[in-house]
Structure 1
Amino acid sequence: MNNQTRFLVTIFLSALASLGLGYFFDVKEWILYVFIFLVGVIAIHFVNKNLSTYTIGNYIIISLFSIFLLVSTKGEQLLLQGNHFILYLLVFLLGFIYVNFILLAILTIVLRYKVESKELEISKFRILIYGLPTILIAPLYLIAFFPGVLTPDSFAQWGQAHGAPYNNWHPLMYTLLIETLIQIIDSPAIVAGFQILLMVLIFGYCLYRFELRGVPRKILYIVAIVLALLPMNGIYSVTVWKDILYNLFLLLFTMNIIEMVLSKGRWISKSGNISVFIFSSLGLIFFRHNGFPVFLVFSMFLFLAYWRQWKQLLPITLSIVIVHSIYTGPIFEALKVRDSDPNELLSIPSQQLANVIVHDGIMTEGQKNYINEIFPLAMWKEYYHPYTSDPIKFSDEYNREAIFPNRFNEYLKVWWSVSLQNPTLVIDAFVKQTSIVWQINEPEGLGQQSTYVTYIHENKYGIERITVSENIRNMMTEYLEVSKTEGVVKMVIWRPALHMFIALYFGYIAYLRFGMKSLLVLLPFMLNIMSIFVAVPAQSYRYLYGTTLVMVIIILYSFLSEKEKSKNVS
């Protein structure tokens, strides 16, 4: 094929693919079609010039990414409504072709640019330098919303820290942390200050580690500023939620795994690194209930990958498990800690049963009678919200004793049989309830996610909003509001499914550079996502906040390389 023919084919293919993509996403402005077309021409031309560098595996993986991206971002498709199924299929195929070329082009560009992995000697003072933007910006949120942001979840732990009986519904460790900090100043501001400090140190440490590996300072300064400017980091730093610390530790833990992979396991042999690893692991397991299973499952894969380092890994892992066992055993008993509500794990099954009831699905009289014991059938229909289980599980009429502690097996049998009888309805309920995890395009209406709050919930502790600076409050409030402007802005900033996609995509690029063991870097945050996936109670961004943080360092990680690796994509 000569150059002129290749050029004409590129133009024609880009025009068709751009038209398909435009119809798929309901693009109406002609100027956007022009932009999409020009980007498509560049991507197709670039990919055609590099066809020899791609493997069958590249095509398969990028195709899977493309399908997920299209399905996850699909909207109402108003331009296609009323048309034949064949047209829908054709538009999807053209959009698929377009996205494929874009992702392949990005893949090739990133793999061409690399930072040689190094082990430089740099002052640890750089940690504070990289944390400086957060030091400057995060306190503005504390000034704006002084003494912090507290919701009912916050006060559930604040009350325990002030003498109420301990319970482990929200992790006790965060309660004990609050109880310790208020010995200094009995104000939520001290908790917010601690969270800001921890955020600064972890952000700074991660970027410092990348500088040690040879990433240029200019790039790291930009990343430091971006982290400080991201609205979730600012408002969450002053929000009294255990999720904030958990996700910060998830970031630190992932950074440690990056070091493990880059050093081929040798990083864990140094005492200072062991201390950092243990610190991040303890934070991971103590500040949210799903952290311990995430750590255990990950540890098994870590042993398989670096079995030669078993003399370091085994005692570290055992010591962490023993500490957790002592903490949840004798210490819980000594403090008379009440167990968490096991019903929190039944969000998905409850939503599936509710959807079957609402749509008058197939159920036997025995199944109806049992489900009616848990919650009156009429109220299942009245209280069912397809995107959150809270209205049902927090209702006064919801009878937990019909499930726990003695009838859980009966509940599982009824749920399973009802699911087999109504597969379409239970899948529909599952897809909606878990949309926060997998759906990039936010569902309209009831499916909208909660992002952040700025209020202090009504409480009996006399904690009220204090105006330190009206101007700063107005400025930060407006900044937050702009960040969740409906459409692309909110999707890019606040939708965790998009951040998961980006992290996995750049994680795949890292896999092409470093091989199979590099997938360990993706495992902690993916295990966290999977744990949320099976028990997500509501559409709240905070559950997946760590995905955004981890995405940032995985992008940086994907630009590193080993000298002996081939330049080829394969």
Structure 2
Amino acid sequence: MVSTILMFGLNHLSIWHLVLIIGFIAVTKDVEIRFNRKDLGWMVCFILLNVFSFYMNPPKQLDYEMVLAVLRVGFYFSLFKIVTAMTAKNMLYHIEGLLSNWQKTQFLIMMILALLIIYFPLLLAFSPGNMYIDSYSQWGQAMGGIPLSDWHPVLTTLLMKLSYKLIGTPVVYTWMQVMGSIMVLTYFSKQLLDLRLKKSYILLVVFTILFTTLLLSNMVTLYKDNLYNLSLVLVTLFLVRIYFIEPTWLQHWSSKIIFAFNFNVVLLGRHNGFYVGIAFLVIWFLFSFDKWKDVAIIMVLTALIFMGYHTLLNQRYAIVPGSPSEKYSMVLQHIGAGVDAGKPLTEKQNEFLDQILPRATWQEKYTPVMIDPVKFHQDFNKEFINTHQKELLKNWLTIGQQYPLLYLRAELQQIRPLWDVNGWEHGLPGTQMFHYMINSPKAYYDPYLQHYDFAVEPLRNLIAEWSYQQAPHDGVHKPFITSVASVSILILFASSFSVIFSKRWTYLLILLPSLLHLGTLCLAMPAYNIRYILAPVITSMMLAIIFKVVSTKALISS
């Protein structure tokens, strides 16, 4: 509680976070905490992680950040101890006190209404839908002003087009995102009810997810990642249902069809989703054992839906292929690190890189956290990359052999949200704070929709002003929400190692969709934006409480 109050006083926590934490303390007041030697090891690891974070990215106000780091260590350590110390007495309903089906239904209806009430001011302020960066060009494709291409996932573009055909604005698509998030959180609540978790804990977890993951602002913004993130979370919750709650769930044809349709949103909803989905299905089939027939049917249904979608798509639309150069973001990031550092290269390497972009421009535009300033420079020669892909990879490999540590540093900088517990401050709008997605320049809309205005401008301005006060984006103050993201991801990885060492393979299977997603980001795509890692962040929070409840119930039964 002391850490919480001090962090709030230093403007690191918003008022919503303060209320949530006070609620958490109130709900868990009966939990008995005991310390042991292992706790010292966890604390040392977290301290070393902070030291590494400061070394990689020295903050602008070292004293201020060091004070915050100490407070965060105390806060997260206390949170960890409370969660691990919870027992069945604290968090589970007794058998004789179980809720009836009608009581569960009432609670879920109240949950839906509460979530709608929370979303309503945002929908009112930003209807028919907020836009940012990629949203502009994708909405332009949906309206027909820009040729339809696979630069953005075509599935989400077509859903936006449907919204445009129906009422001329993206409001239908915005509501799809909002209702999708409400459905996911409600289904998660149902899982916890079926696991006998008390309603107070369920409310606490759901609202923590809602207010600490940018879920609210993301779902009223036309982001191509949103439906993919929600579908990936649903895959995880379906697995929880199958392996921890209702083993016969997958035997029903309706369940198989729902799973297959949702899985196609994973395959089609994001460019890396295809690889994540295929890898997961193959691994699941190989290790499904007694469920292999059901998994095989899901694979067939998924393939049929996927092929049917592409058949109809190719008959109806002429899709312009995206530039192959787009898939080399990480390659260019690594090479750019070498150029920016002024490392000596061979004459042939310099000549090759100059064909892509003059060396001076490489050094001027390169940033450690994203390659976009290089890729979208007017002199960037993506056509040269498209016709010399093998040579690009060859040069990338040879430069990497010369400077492997430089590549490693560039990789770590690119995926900072996965490990940087102090938050990151690269200044990319829309990454960290609510208000940078809210303050979208009106001029971007003009080519696509001449008279586009937010529904209630004063409310929008009020929220924007308030959010600036809560988290000023000045390169000095790092919002609490960025450390929440990285700690969530680190918990996901720590849980994975733990279940591997303890040989709890079912737990690992449930973690697998999120791990595969993170793996593809590390290998081929930038991960500098919270929306890219939204699904794993949400999943880690959900599974933290689910795994705790399941393990506690297992102790009771044994």
**TM-score class, shorter:** 0.7 to 0.9
The secondary structure found in structure 1 opposite 2:155 is helix
Match among 140, 143, 161 for residue 121 of structure 2: 140
**C-alpha displacement of 1:70:** 3.0
Q: Does 1:523 align with 2:506?
A: no
Which residue in the other structure is 2:373 paired with? 391
The amino acid of 2:525's aligned partner reads V
* Aligned mates of 1:75, 1:310 — CA distance in 2: 44
1:310-337 Cα shifts (integer Å, max 9, x gaps): 1111121132134334544663364111
Shift of 1:225: 3.6
Q: TM-score, normalised by structure 2?
A: 0.78
Q: 1:341 to 1:129 in 2, by over 3 A?
A: farther
Structure 2 match to 1:369? 351
Q: Is the 8 A contact 1:63 1:100 kept in 2?
A: no
Go from structure 1 to structure 2 and tell me whether the alpha carbon gap of 1:147 and 1:46 turns closer, same or farther (over 3 Å shift). same
Q: Show the counterpart of 1:178.
A: 160
1:70 counterpart letter in structure 2:
L
How far does the alpha carbon of each residue in 1:253-291 deviate from its partner, in whole angstroms, 9 at most, with x for none? 111111122158533112333233223212212211111
CA distance in 2: counterparts of 1:412 and 1:484, whole angstroms: 41
The total of aligned residue pairs comes to: 502
| Normalised TM-score (structure 1) | 0.77
Aligned letter for 2:324?
Answer: P
Alignment match, 1:454 = 438
Partner residue of 1:554 out of 500, 525, 543: 543
Q: 2:129 touches 2:174 (CA, 8 Å); kept in 1? A: yes
State whether residues 195 and 238 of structure 1, in contact with CA within 8 Å, keep that contact through their aligned partners in structure 2. Answer: yes
AA paired with 2:504? Answer: G
Q: What amino acid does structure 2 have at the position aligned with 1:303?
A: F
Q: Which amino acid aligns with 1:142?
A: L
Say if 2:175 is the partner of 1:199.
no
Q: Quote the Cα distance in structure 1 between the aligned partners of 2:184 and 2:419.
A: 27
Letter in 2 for 1:545: L
- The structural deviation recorded for 1:554 is 0.9
Alignment RMSD: 3.9
1:147–1:466 contact (8 Å) kept in structure 2: yes
One-letter code aligned to 1:539:
Y
1:552 Cα offset (Å): 2.6
Tell me the distance in 2 between the aligned counterparts of 1:391 and 1:135: 38
Q: Structure 2 residue aligned with 1:491, among 474, 480, 485?
A: 480
Q: What amino acid maps onto 1:413 in structure 2? A: K
Q: Deviations over 1:107-163 (max 9, x none)?
A: 751467674899987355654332222100112112223332112411212122122
Q: Partner letter of residue 241 of structure 2?
A: E
Deviations 1:93-113 (A, max 9, x none): x99x99999798557514676
C-alpha distance after superposition, 1:461-480 (max 9, x if no partner): 12533352625641465147
Letter in 1 for 2:516: L
C-alpha change, 1:110 and 1:343, in structure 2 (3 Å) is farther
* Superposition map of 1:252-263 within 5 A: 252-263=234-245
Give 1:122's aligned residue.
101
Q: Is 1:312 aligned to residue 291 of structure 2?
A: no
* 1:502 partnered with 2:486: no
Amino acid at match of 1:154: S
Q: What residue is the counterpart of 1:35 in the other structure?
A: none
Cα deviation 1:362-398 (Å, max 9, x = unaligned): 3211111111111112211121111110011111211
Q: For each residue in 1:51-91, what CA deviation from the matched residue of structure 2 results, as whole angstroms up to 9, or x when unmatched?
A: 7xxxxxxx6x99589636632564548xx99xxxxxxxxxx
Matching of residue 109 in structure 1 with residue 85 in structure 2: yes
1:13 alignment counterpart: none
Which residue number corresponds to residue 423 of structure 1? 404
Q: What's the counterpart of residue 198 of structure 2? A: 216
Please, which runs of 5 or more residues in structure 1 have no aligned partner? 1-42, 52-58, 82-93
Superposition deviation, residue 304 in structure 1: 3.2
What is the distance in 2 between the residues matched to 1:224 and 1:341? 40
> Aligned in 2, Cα 1:480/1:251: closer, same or farther, shift over 3 Å?
farther
Q: 1:338: how far off?
A: 1.4
Partner of 2:16: none
| Residues 276, 518 of structure 1: alpha-carbon distance in 2 compared, 3 angstrom cutoff | same
Residue 13 of structure 2 is matched in structure 1 by: none
Range with greater deviation from structure 2 (135-144 or 229-238): 229-238
Q: Which residue does the alignment assign to 2:392?
A: 411
Q: Which residue type is aligned with residue 101 of structure 2?
A: I
Correspondent of 1:67 among 45, 48, 56: 45
In structure 2, distance between residues paired with 1:65 and 1:414:
42
Which ranges in structure 2 are unaligned for 5 or more consecutive residues?
1-30, 60-69
CA distance in 1, matches of 2:324, 2:224: 19
Residues 1:381 and 2:363 aligned together: yes
Which position in structure 2 is the counterpart of 1:537?
526
- Which protein is bigger by CA-based radius of gyration? 1
Distance in 2 (CA, whole Å) between partners of 1:117 and 1:73 is: 45
Which among 234, 247, 256 is matched to residue 274 of structure 1? 256
The letter of the residue matching 2:372 is: D
Decide whether aligned partners of structure 1 residues 292 and 126 sit closer, same or farther in structure 2, where only a CA change above 3 A counts.
Answer: farther
Deviations 1:28-48 (A, max 9, x none): xxxxxxxxxxxxxxx9x9344
Matched-pair identity in %: 22
Query: 1:168 maps to what in 2?
Result: 150
Q: Which amino acid aligns with 2:48?
A: L
Among 422, 425, 429, the residue aligned to 1:441? 422
Shift of residue 302, structure 1, vs aligned partner: 1.6
Moved more, 558-567 or 388-397: 558-567
**TM-superposed deviation, 1:512:** 9.4
User: Aligned equivalents of 1:100 and 1:174: distance in 2?
Assistant: 37
* Code of the aligned partner of 1:386: P
Distance verdict in 2 for CA 1:483–1:111, change over 3 Å? farther
- Please tell me the residue identity of whatever aligns with 1:497: S
Secondary structure at the aligned position of 1:560 is classed as helix
Pair 1:391–1:344, CA change in 2 (3 A) = same
Q: 1:482 to 1:147 in 2, by over 3 A?
A: same
Does the Cα contact within 8 Å between 2:257 and 2:298 map onto a contact in 1?
Answer: no
